[in-house]
Amino acid sequence: MKRLISLFALVCLLITASVSLADIPACLTSTGTMTLEYATQFTVDYCEGGYALITNSDGARFLTIPEGAALPEGLDADIVPLQLPLSNLLISSTPVTSLINAIGGLDAVTMTTQEYDGWYIEDVKAAMDAGKLTYIGSYKEPDFEVLASNPPPFSVFSTMLDSVPDVAEKLTELGIPYMRDTSSQETHPLGRMEWIKLYGLLLGKEAEAEAYYNEQKAIVDGIDAANAGKTVAMFYITSKGDLYTRRAGDYMVKMLELAGGSYVPAGLEPEKSGTMKIEPEEFYATAGDADCIVYIWSMGGKPDSMDAFLSRSEILKDFKAVKDGQVWFTTPDYFQISDSLGSMILDFNKMLTDDGSAEAFTYLFKLK
């Protein structure tokens, strides 16, 4: 039986390898692939001569060209060549910017679609103050005149680019290569974090990226989740009174589970990520007895007191977590960064085991 299982595993490995090799143009010779533990939305094939072929989950392919090397002859027409070293980049994603900044690559970024007052990353603000990083308009309406006069050799957008196809068309018209960062489709939070390896490759900082990723992973590996064991509800309420909770398949739910917590309502569309609207009464029926509340502060407004929080909905005062003083808010920068997901999971664990003596939290704060 063991022999059959081993044979089956070998066949699967060969099939997987053949699929990967089939995607590599005949003008390139594979020498190996980037090791990824959790990320599933991109792959990197290393090739002879120092080239690297990046394949995104949306089918887009990019080939890094080493400094001083030539473009391989016979390269597939759909593959976008990226001549290294890269500089003068447009990064239209705050989480991606956080990853690049974490490995010391911010100097390569000169354009952003996030306004100065919307940034919580101090290094980014300092770069904007120094004139090294410029706001060129929102991702919905970037300043194409600026882009045409100083075209970046590469740009990165979140999947929100899908909502403005005219922007993508204009970028193509101007000859500006762009990649959709699909890390939001990763099912494991460390999968999102592992995209730092891709940006390390693009910016010549693979060693820094590997080290940084390992540091964050070590934080998660060192968490004692067995002693947590509390139930947690995560949601926000809009100014119109609409309540949105995280789906059971969301990465924040996985972060909570890695920290030792249990999410309620359990089984809420576990095959999907993101948030969903639910009637307050229905939500209370399944989450009213949760031990802790994590309120998404930036999305659900910014109540600065318990009274302001309770004014969001009549049902809130009846929650067990409210009565027990276990209402926690995410910090304003929570959704702007991806470089500290390990630290965020540790904060969840501190929340779950909090007896009032926990050290200062970084990404959560208790409402009093």
Three-state secondary structure of the chain: CHHHHHHHHHHHHHHHHHHHHHCCCCCCCEEEECCCCCCCCEEEEEEHHHCEEEEECCCCEEEEECCCCCCCCCCCCCEEEEECCCCCEEEECHHHHHHHHHCCCHHHEEEECCCHHHCCCHHHHHHHHCCCCEECCCCCCCCHHHHHHCCCCCEEEEHHHHHCHHHHHHHHHCCCCEEEECHHHCCCHHHHHCCHHHHHHHCCCHHHHHHHHHHHHHHHHCCCHHHCCCEEEEEEECCCCCEEEECCCCHHHHHHHHCCCEECCCCCCCCCCCEEEECHHHHHHHHCCCCEEEECCCCCCCCCCHHHHHCCCHHHHHCHHHHCCCEEEECCCCCCCCCCHHHHHHHHHHHHCCCCCCCCCCCEEECC
Same domain, 77 and 119: yes
Same domain, 278 and 339: yes
The mean pLDDT value for 268-291 works out to 94
Whether 19 maps to a domain, the answer reads no
* Model confidence at 129: pLDDT above 50: yes
From 218, 252, 278, the end of a domain falls on: 218
Same domain, 167 and 186: yes
* Model confidence at 77: pLDDT above 50: yes
Q: Residue 178 is which amino acid?
A: Y
Give the per-residue pLDDT at 4: 37
From 184, 199, 218, the end of a domain falls on: 218
Q: Place 46 in a pLDDT band, splitting at 50, 70 and 90.
A: very high
Angle in degrees, CA 355, 360, 364, rounded to 5: 85
Domain carrying residue 269: 225-366
Q: Which residues contact 95 (CB under 8 A, 6 or more apart)?
A: 158, 181, 183, 192, 335, 336, 337, 338
* Model confidence at 1: pLDDT above 50: no
Query: Tokens for 32?
Result: 């190996």
Whether 17 maps to a domain, the answer reads no
Whether 4 maps to a domain, the answer reads no
Give the per-residue pLDDT at 315: 94
Same domain, 184 and 150: yes
Under the phi-then-psi rule, with left for phi > 0, alpha for psi from -120 to 50, and beta for the rest, what region is 10? alpha
Same domain, 42 and 151: yes
User: Where are the strands (E) in 221-283, listed by range?
Assistant: 231-237, 243-246, 262-263, 275-278
Whether 278 maps to a domain, the answer reads yes
Mean confidence (pLDDT) of the chain: 91
**What share of the chain has pLDDT > 70, as a percent?**
93
Same domain, 200 and 237: no
Give the per-residue pLDDT at 357: 67
Same domain, 166 and 89: yes
Same domain, 212 and 311: no
Tell me the per-residue pLDDT of 304-346, one tens digit each, with 9 for 90 and over.
Answer: 889 999 999 999 999 999 999 999 999 988 889 899 999 999 9
Which CATH number characterizes residue 347's domain?
A: 3.40.50.1980
Whether 1 maps to a domain, the answer reads no
Q: Place 3 in a pLDDT band, splitting at 50, 70 and 90.
A: very low
Same domain, 154 and 134: yes
Question: With a threshold of 0.85, does the pTM exceed it?
Answer: yes
Domains in the chain, number: 2
Give the per-residue pLDDT at 226: 85
Whether 12 maps to a domain, the answer reads no
Same domain, 275 and 164: no
Query: Tokens for 75?
Result: 């390269």
Same domain, 199 and 264: no
The answer to which of 123-127, 275-279, 364-368 has the lowest mean pLDDT is 364-368
Whether 30 maps to a domain, the answer reads yes
From 174, 200, 218, the end of a domain falls on: 218
Whether 331 maps to a domain, the answer reads yes
Give the per-residue pLDDT at 160: 96
Give the per-residue pLDDT at 300: 73
Please tell me which residue, 344 or 298, carries the higher pLDDT value. Answer: 344
Same domain, 251 and 214: no
* Model confidence at 188: pLDDT above 50: yes
Give the per-residue pLDDT at 291: 97
